[in-house]
Structure 1
Amino acid sequence: MERGLILLVAAFMVFVAPGVQGTAHLSFANNTEVNITRTGCGVSKLCLETPDNCDPAGNGTCLFGSLVASTPVAPNGVNLSVELRGNSMGYVALGLTVNASEGGTMLFVCAQNSSNNGSFFFRTMMRNNTDDMLTPTETRVTEIRGSVKDNVIQCEFDVPGVNATSTRSSDATTFNVLLGTGTLNGNSLGPFNVSLKSGALNIADPTSNTAGTTAAPTMTTNSTTAGTSVLHPHALLVLLSVLTLSVMQKA
């Protein structure tokens, strides 16, 4: 049976204490689908997934995230539109961090509350990259939409003013992107289990995680291509030797 729920947030989420969600302007609508696909990957949106090339629109296991960034404007950074899809009985999450081994990760969590008929809810957390501790944090997130169906969690949301630097005169869009899942106990989040670390990516470039095109090595053959004969250097020397010998014999 499908369990769908859409959550629209017009104001930022406020967390007043660990495990306690503060007030926000919320509206709900039942039986609403969020359909995430690979359309636009590498062209209009930066995509990450595990396993490789899995289909978020299919029925198989696929942890998938995509990012679309506006043009960077210093010092405001970029506005991000995010898609997230994964299989979990607890939560799926996408994280942004400048350094995955130290500092913190801004974690965007889409979850289902099994104690409330699998209803969808959204949270933002700060993950300590040293000890993996999760702490509720205030982050402005808008246009949150989410659905849950057969333990497949899908959500879309916008994050304004994302900047990898605190320098007011510049903007930076290079982040490490993390994808992962976790368990849920009531409204309390269990540890974030990282399934994918992207390495440093320019989130404003949809092609930043695709391998660069490398020219194939030139293959030399004796065949004729498009009417043009290809001669190896040693073959040319042999031909010149034969011609020289022929001229000497006629002299």
Structure 2
Amino acid sequence: MDRVLILLVAALMVYVAPGVQGTAHLSFANNTEVNITRTGCGVTKVCLETPDNCDPAGNTSCLFGSVNTSNSVAPNGTELSIELRGDSSGYVALGLTVNASEGTTMLFICAKNSSNNGSFFFRTTQRNNSNTDTAPTPTERRVTEIRGSVHGNVIRCEFNVPNVNATNTRSSDTTFSVLLGVGSFDGNTLGAFNVSLNSGPLNLANPSSNVAATSAPNNATTTTSGASGAVYNHAVLLPLSILTMSVMLRA
């Protein structure tokens, strides 16, 4: 059965900092498509895929991820708009890390929930890069405007991640290694993350850093900046607004 879900989130308050919890209310609506294409690759967004040059809008197997950045605002960092498409009976995931061999990876999981009629499931987790055989650990990270769809074993999702920074200094850094991969999910337990692609260090604010350009959307603009470091969360207090859509995912 094909299931398509959109997560519309009205946040009363979200405060992101180590050990601090947030409050959010979620609702679900059906019949919302998620369309992911290569349009804008190398012009407005960094794109990665395996196999090479596969078509995320097509019917063949394609594990595809893209990242578009907003203007960097020090010291809070940059907002990332992420697209992810892959084939899995469990989950597909995109990870951001400074060094895939040590430290941690912030992992964003889009899954097929087999215990709930194949519905869409989203969670933020953290991967221990030194112990890759273990399952990722659910962790808090503010994510907004989450949309996801499941058609058979094809999982598509898109979402925004505010305040991403590769360093804890007052500058805003956007150089990360991007990981794409898959794992198992039985509706309750996430399996280990199996890496299918490791981009190596990329400046996510430079859309042409690794992919040949395609046509850009109308009125598209790009920005560039670069640095290196580690993934950090910054404290953020959102004003009350009925237009705010965000979700705090708990361990």
TM-score by length of 1: 0.77
The AA in structure 2 aligned to 1:121 is F
Q: 1:10 to 1:54 in 2, by over 3 A?
A: farther
Q: Distance in 1 between matches of 2:182 and 2:23?
A: 25
Structure 2 equivalent of residue 154 of structure 1: 156
Deviations 1:81-127 (A, max 9, x none): 00000000000000000111000000000001111100101000000
Aligned-pair CA distance for 1:10: 4.0
SS in 1 for 2:115: helix
Task: Give the conservation status (yes or no) of the 8 Å contact 1:46–1:67.
Answer: yes
Structure 1 residue 30, shift from structure 2 partner: 1.2
**Which runs of structure 2 are paired with 1:112-151 in the superposition (5 Å)?**
112-132=112-132, 133=134, 134-151=136-153
Matched, 1:179 2:180: yes
Deviations 1:32-86 (A, max 9, x none): 2101000100001110000000000000000000000011121111100000000
CA contact (8 A) 1:10 1:142 kept: no
> 1:94-109 maps to which residues of 2 (within 5 A)?
94-109=94-109
CA distance in 2, matches of 1:60, 1:42: 22
Greater Rg, structure 1 or structure 2? Answer: 1
How far apart are residue 210 of structure 1 and its match? 3.4
The normalised TM-score by structure 2 is 0.77
Residue 243 of structure 2 corresponds to which residue in structure 1?
none
Q: How many residues are aligned here?
A: 204
Amino acid at match of 1:185: D
Paired residues for 1:35-74 under 5 Å: 35-74=35-74
RCO higher in 1 or 2 (8 Å CA, sep ≥ 6)? Answer: 2
Distance change (3 Å), C-alpha of 1:53 and 1:141? same
Note if contact 1:13-1:139 (Cα within 8 Å) is conserved in structure 2. Answer: no
Moved more, 95-104 or 129-138: 129-138
The offset of 1:13, in angstroms, is 11
2:30 aligns to what? 30
Is the 8 Å Cα contact of residues 47 and 211 (structure 2) preserved in structure 1?
no
SS of 1:92's equivalent in the other structure is strand
Cα distance in 1 between the residues matched to 2:45 and 2:10: 24
Secondary structure in 2 aligned to 1:115?
Answer: helix
> 3-state SS of the aligned residue for 1:4?
strand
Deviation at 1:9, TM superposition (A): 3.2
CA contact (8 A) 2:67 2:82 kept: yes
Shift of 1:209: 1.2
In structure 2, relative to structure 1, the CA distance for the partners of 1:111 and 1:181 (3 Å cut) is same
More helix by share: 1
In structure 1, runs of 5+ residues without a counterpart are 15-21, 212-251
Task: Specify the code of the residue in structure 1 equivalent to 2:181.
Answer: G
Secondary structure of the equivalent of 2:47? strand
Q: Are the structure 2 counterparts of residues 105 and 68 from structure 1 closer, same or farther at C-alpha, using a change threshold of 3 Å?
A: same
Report Cα offsets for 1:133-175 as digits up to 9, x if no partner: 31111101000000000110000100000000011x2111100
CA distance 1:38–1:10, shift in 2 (3 Å): farther
